[in-house]
Structure formats: structure tokens, C-alpha cells
Structure 1
Amino acid sequence: MRRGHLRAVGFLDPAWAGRNYRVQTVAAVVSGLGNAAAPIATAFAVLHSGAGWGSAEVGYVTAARTVPLVVLLLVGGAVADRLPRHLVMVGANVFNAGSQAVLAALVLLGQPGLWALMALSAAGGAGQAFYAPAAEGVILRAVPAEHAAKAFSVFKMAVNGASIAGAAFGGVLVAAVGPGWVLAGDAACFAVAAALRAGLEQVAADRGPAGPGLVHELRVGWREFRARRWLWAVVVQFGVTNACVLAVEAVYGPVVAEDRMGGAGAWGAAMAALSVGMLAAGPLMTRWQPRRLLLVGNGGVFLFGLPPLALALGWPLVPVAVAMFLAGAGTTVFIVGWMVTLQQEVPEELLSRMSAYDAFGSFALLPLGSALAGPAAAAFGLSGALWGCALVCAALAGLVLLVPEVRRLERAVAGPASRVPEPEPVTSG
């Protein structure tokens, strides 16, 4: 994609938005459209299979995706710190396009077995494990430090806008044409994103120096991760919080929507409201520069418990959507503060590994949370399981504030010394 084409996208045209930032943002928007619709399509492919499957089977398929994601994240981070990050992303996108295309074909051709749904979900998780650390390293490297909060806010606004459209249209399309065609659209989005990311410029920092080996680099990453108490404290918090959030969004929400809200279209609207909240908070975060990054960011995490609370209370779609909107706004407040903190506190050569340890810890309990979502609903009732998710999210948001660094870590003062220059492209080979 030529530079002029990217400049046609108005919100990606400020002076600090280099070519890699613009390409990665446009590619993230394209893949985000499919990614927002795919979980809805997958859940309702299970529920509409004709095999009498319910929340337990939805949980198993969701867990199958998260197991390889967790297991391979650290390897993906180390690979992304050693190889050109844009090539790692392209390879992961191509792999995901293929796995989603096969999944779509099976759903369209007839009733797929549960094992097939789980295996292809696992393939999607494996691709994401290599994509995510490389992608975070690229976007963190792509802008000067003093513009980081604004850049990350604009990036999240663009991605969340795609999530709004993907979730809303995904739910409608699942109801109208079935989940198989929605999954086929996700495969096409991955393919387009891969083509876009192939045009990213390789920069000198994208290829790490040859080291003693992958295991050594993982050990170095673990040592650096443990040395930052603010980092591992928040990661532990999100290890449990994310398991609760995934259970609500991928298992309990679709089941509740199927039972009393009207099905896939209703849950697509609720998920779109979550993304609208993320998008709405974006302009605020482009202007607001809170001094205590993690303290303010964690304030947004208190809102994560609102959706399960609304579902547990049996509220109709509109108040559930409002709860999702507020949780989405809290997500943006946290993510912008978190990404600025990572860029400020973590050396460039460690970014992908730190991102991988961050993601590994944050996602470690996702398989367990997904697999136990159905049994928990059977044991405590759906309402009881939702109350549990709401209370856990709120309690952990309070407990992490006991860590002094989380309360006190401050934004660095921007100035000439803090500027990260736009990296110069280098040629391959």
C-alpha cells in the first residue's frame, strides 16, 4: 500500500504517524472486523448444531482456542524478538486465514463434530500466539514516546470502531445467513490483513541480535519480568479477570441471549455496545494525560464487573448494553495507560518478550475458565456463576491497588531526551 493511500485515512495523518503505524492500524481494522464477528459465529455454530449442545460445549470450544494460545505465547514472543516482526505477523495471519476457512467449510457443509470445532479453534489460538507479541512490538516502536498516549488512543479507536461493526453485523449475519458465512468472512479478513502487513517496513530493531538461543532469551525475559512488580501484579490480576470476562462474553452471554433476548442478533448488539464504549473513551484518552498511569488505568477495571452483574440481575437488552458500554470505556482507559507504561518502562529489545509474558500470564487461566464455565453454571446456576464473575472482577481491581508501584508509577515528563526517533528502514538480505 502506497503512502498516499494511507494518508487518505484522515485520522492516521498526524505528523507522528509513521508508515508502519498507519499500515498496522489499517490492517488491525480489517482483521478486527472478522475477529469481532467470529466468536459470535462460533458460539452459535455450537448452539445451532442440532446435537443439543449448550453452555458446556461452547466453553469447551472456547477453551480449545485458548490452550495453544497460552502454551505458545512465550515462544511467540521470543521469536518476535529474534526475527523481523512484520514477517511473523504475516505468517500468523496466513495460518489463521487457512484455519478459519476450513472451519467455515465444515460448518457450511453440515454438522461438524465437536472434535473438529475444537481442533480448528486450537489452530486459531496457535496463530494468535505468534501474532500478538510481534504486533505489540511493532505498534510500540512505531511512534515517538511523547505522542504514545495519543497514538495508542487513536489506534484503539480505529480497532474498536471495527469491533463495533464486526460484532453488530456479525450478529445480524449469523441470524440471517448462518455462522458458516460469517466464519468465511473472518478468513477473508485475515488474508487481506496479511497482504497489508507484508508491506510493513522492516526496521533495524525488528531483528534481534543472534543470541545463545531461544531458551536463554526466555530466561532473560522471565528475569526482567519478575524484576518489575507492577508488571507481574497486574498480569496476575488479569489472569483471573480475563477468565471471568471470557466466560461472560463467549459462554454465558450467548446462552442468556439465546434463552431470553432473541438470539445472536441481540448478543451481537451487546458486544457492539462494548466496542462503542471502547471507541467513546478514545477521544478522552487522546487529551487526558493522567500522571499516575496504572492507578487511573486500574480504575477502569472496576467497570468490568458490570456486564455479568446486569446479566445476573436478569436485565433486558438495553441495560445490559449500557453495562457493556461502560465496561468498554473502562477497557480503553486501562489499555492506553498500560501501553504507555510498557513503552516507558521496558527497553525496546525486550518489548516482545515482555508482551509475551504479559499475555501468557493474562491468558493462562482462559482455558480453565472456559472449560469450567458450563459446569459452574450447572453447579451454582447461571445467575450464581454470573454473580461470581462480577464479584471477582471488582475484588481483584481493589486488591492490586495494595501494590505500591501500581499506585505510584508516574508518567515520564516528555522532552527532547525522551523522544524515540522514527526508525530508519533497512533492506532485507
Structure 2
Amino acid sequence: MSVKESLFVLKDRDFGWFFASRFVNMAGSSMSHVALAFAVLEVTDSASALGYVIAAHTIPMVVFLLIGGVIADRFPRRLVLQVSNVASAATQAAAATLVITGHAEIWHLVVLEAVNGTTMAMAFPAMQGMVPQLVPKKDLQPANLLLSMTRSTLTILGPSVAAALVVGVGAGWALAVDSLAWLLAALFLLPVRIPSRSADAEKTSAIEDLRAGWTYFRTTTWLWVVVVAFMILNAMQSGGQQVLGPAYAKSSSIGVEGWGLANSALAAGMLVMTIVLMRGTIRRPLRAGMFGIMAFSLPFFVLAFWPETVPLVLAMAIAGAGIEVFSLGWSLAMQENVPEEMLSRAYSYDALGSFIAMPVGQLLYGPLAGWFGARPVFLVSGVLYVLVCLATLAVPSVVRLQRVEQPATEGTPV
């Protein structure tokens, strides 16, 4: 199946409008991190202040994820996503106005990002649960790949566009563009039609729904095993890629430019693998995904043994390809095997478990490098990364999970 042939899923009216909504939403989000960072730095030069603003977004997003999952399983997901998008548009518009007019203070941005993070906690489970409601199971792979291809492309282009806006018209106007993207995303969801839920699904209380979600999560072995694995993997990935990696690159021959190229290579690797996967079929999604994500150990080993720009760029490109294999495998495993009425709650438990340890990695990697040196920390991280992936692959329910229904396309099984 070629890229052109995979576009047939866009012929479905409802998925086409959902795709348009996700496109503009991802376009704004790909620019928002750069825009927000420089907006904060326009108010103050303090790196600590930037950390406060980012944490103000992350903490409520993690705290309220489970509630977001319950809401998305109890109410129409399109409505939940629309309300969240409008709220995010309002917070970014308020931040943009304050920055443009010169009235912004750090506490303003902290409060606004806290609200924005809370709305994201509501939006994420609803967004993840919508795809299997819009396309039949046989079309889940091309639908997810199209969304992933868009995300990868915008991840490459978005930061550069945001930087150009910051330099050209200022960080406040870059935030305004992000606000507009959120609003358009909400508007594009208006024509989307989703089958109504059964009235019986709304008779339980929110607490009972939360308990039912937890029961499903803890009794579904492949689900909680992979989430626990990513609790560890994401802690290492965030600590190594977001904290220690840039600091080490800046003081080594890699440099800031080399680190930027490496991160662009990561997104490029994801995009290339998306195109490759359009020509094949994943039959055991978690087995393929865990082997794929193991590739993220390569940048750790390169930084430990061969800290130069060219090998790091190559390693990050391979890592990006592996991330894309896991991303598709996980989406297929969840969307085909988790009951539709439980899907948003399952995604919320997944996100909570996967994200909760990320601040630990971000806080620990700096001190660990100070105590033992950066290169030994990278080496141990690479070895541990591989061991966690192999341990996950040793669980029968993970490695044996198969597709519920194969796509009606020809290709090479993965």
C-alpha cells in the first residue's frame, strides 16, 4: 500500500473532518513549546521561571488524566474534545494578549498553563478514543499512520516556523497563532458524527467508572506490563534527552547545532518509518513495538562511546523509526483489543503510568552526571533500556498479542 493509496480513509466524511481538526491542532502544538518558552523569556530571563511555567502545565495534566478518561467514556468524545479545544484556545489567547501588550507576569502564565494542562487531561483520552469510533477495524492502521505522518512532518517544521514568528513578530503573536489553531480544531469537529452511546452506559457513577477502569487495567496483563515498562523508559528518555543530553552536547564537540540536527533526525526517522509501514502489515503489534522502541537505546550508547554529531544524528534517526513502530503497534493494540466503552479510561491509566515518572528522570539525571560523569550515566541508561524492553518481551501476553482483524491490504507482515 502506497502513501497515495492509504489516503482512501480520508474519503470518509467524519474521519476527514477529524483529520483536519487534528492537523491544525498538531500544527499549533508543534509551535507552542517554542512560542511559550520565548514568551516566558520575554517576561524574565530566569530559566527557573520557565521551569515553573512548564511544570504548571504538566502537573495538572497528569493529576487529572484519570478524571479525563472517565469524562470521555461517559460523555460524547467529540463534545469533550471541542470544549477542551475552546478552553485551550482561550488560555493561549489570554497569554498572547498579556505578552503582546507587555502586561504579562510569570504568575499569569503559570495560572493559564495550569488551566491549559487541565484541559489537555480532558482532551487526551477523548482524542485517543475517537479513531476506532470513526473508522472500521480494517482501516485502523492507515488511519493511525496518516495521523502519525502528519505529526512527524509538523514536528520537523513547527519549531522552525515558531522560531521565525518569534523573531519576526514576537512570541506573543506566535502564541496567538497557537490559539487560532485550537479554535479551528474545535470548529472542524462540528461536522463529525459519532454513533450515540447506549443509555445503559451512563447509569453508573463516576467513582464506579473509575474503579471499573482500574479493574480492567490491572487484570489486562499486556496493558499494565507495557505501561510499567514505559514508566521506566520514559523516565530515562526524558532525563537523557531533555536534560542531560542538551547539557552534554553543549559542552562537547556535538554543540547546540549538532543537538538540534539530532532532534530533527529523530522526527525525520519517524516520518520515514511511517511511509515504510504504509507498505506493510503489523500482525503482532506489541512484539513489533517493543523491538522498535529498543532502538532508542542507540543514542545512549553513542553518547557514551562516540559523542560526535554524525553518529548521534544517525542513531536518533533510527530511534525515531523505532518510536514510530511502537506508536503504531500500541495504537492498534489498544484500539482493537480494549472495549470501546472502556477505551478512554484505559488510555488515561496508560498516560498516567507512562508520564508519572518523567519528572523523576528530569530531576535525577543532572545530579547523577555530577556524581558519576555523563558518559557512564548514558551507558547504564542504554543497558537498562535494552533490559527493560527484553523483560517486557518475555511476557507471553505481550509478545503473542495479535491483530483482531487484518487490514484489507497487501504487504509484508512485521
TM range (shorter): 0.7 to 0.9
Q: 2:390 aligned to 390, 398, 403, which one?
A: 398
Structure 1 stretch 114-123 or stretch 41-50: which is displaced more? 41-50
Aligned pair 1:358/2:350, yes or no? yes
- Cα deviation, 1:301-345, whole Å, max 9, x if unaligned, reads 112233455456684555443333222211111111111111221
**Residue type of the partner of 1:83?**
F
Q: Deviations over 1:261-309 (max 9, x none)?
A: 775x776554433222211111222232233221111111112233455
CA distance in 2, matches of 1:155, 1:200: 16
Residue type of the partner of 2:16? Answer: R
> Relative to 1, partners in 2 of residues 1:346 and 1:165: Cα closer, same or farther, differing over 3 Å?
same
Aligned to 1:120: 112
For residues 338-392 of structure 1, the C-alpha deviation after alignment (integer angstroms, 9 at most, x for no partner) is: 1111122111111111111111111122343344455555555555655555444
Structure 2 residue aligned with 1:411, among 403, 406, 410?
403
Q: Indicate if the aligned counterparts of 1:40 and 1:250 stay in contact, CA closer than 8 A.
A: no
Whole-angstrom distance in 2 between the partners of 1:174 and 1:313: 37
The 3 A distance-change label for structure 1 pair 398 and 85 is same
Give the 3 Å change call, closer, same or farther, for CA 15–301 of structure 1 in structure 2.
closer
Q: Give the length in aligned residue pairs.
A: 405
Contact 1:66-1:367 at 8 Å conserved across structures? no
Distance 2:198 2:130 in 1: 8
- Is 1:202 aligned to residue 208 of structure 2? no
Q: CA RMSD in A?
A: 3.4
Map of 1:420 onto structure 2: none
Q: CA deviation at 1:100?
A: 2.4
Shift of 1:229: 0.4
* Aligned-residue offset at 1:395: 2.9
TM-score, normalized by length of structure 1?
Answer: 0.82
- The amino acid of 1:354's aligned partner reads A
Tell me what 2:94 maps to. Answer: 102
Are 1:38 and 2:32 matched, yes or no? yes
* Aligned counterpart for 2:22 among listed residues 11, 20, 28: 28
Within the candidate set 150, 157, 161, 2:149 is matched to 157
- Contact conserved, 1:136 with 1:352, CA < 8 A, in 2? yes
Comparing 92-101 with 173-182, greater Cα deviation is found at 173-182
| Partner residue, 2:265 | 273
State the Cα distance separating 1:102 from its structure 2 match: 3.2
Q: Which moved more, 1:95-104 or 1:212-221?
A: 95-104
From the superposition, tell whether residues 208 and 166 of structure 1 become closer, same or farther in structure 2 (CA, over 3 Å). Answer: farther
Residue 32 of structure 2: SS of its match in structure 1? helix
C-alpha distance 70-224 of structure 1, shift in aligned 2 (>3 A): same
- State whether residues 77 and 126 of structure 2, in contact with CA within 8 Å, keep that contact through their aligned partners in structure 1: yes
Q: Give the direction of change, closer, same or farther, for the CA distance of 1:36–1:16 in structure 2 (3 Å limit).
A: closer
**Are 1:43 and 1:250, in contact at CA under 8 Å, matched by a contact in 2?**
no
TM-score with structure 2 length normalisation?
0.84
Map of 1:3-18 to 2, 5 A cutoff? 13-14=7-8, 17-18=11-12
Matches within 5 A, 1:245-256: 245-252=237-244, 255=247
- 1:93 counterpart residue number: 85
Distance in 2 separating the partners of 1:185 and 1:268? 24
Percent of paired sites with the same residue: 36
Change (3 A) 1:59 1:50: closer
Shift in Å, 1:10: 6.9
Helix, strand or coil at the partner of 2:147: helix
CA distance in 1 between counterparts of 2:97 and 2:370 reads: 32
Determine which of 313, 328, 344 is the counterpart of 1:321. Answer: 313
Mark the runs of 5 or more structure 1 residues left unpaired by the alignment: 1-8, 417-429
| Matching residue of 1:296 | 288
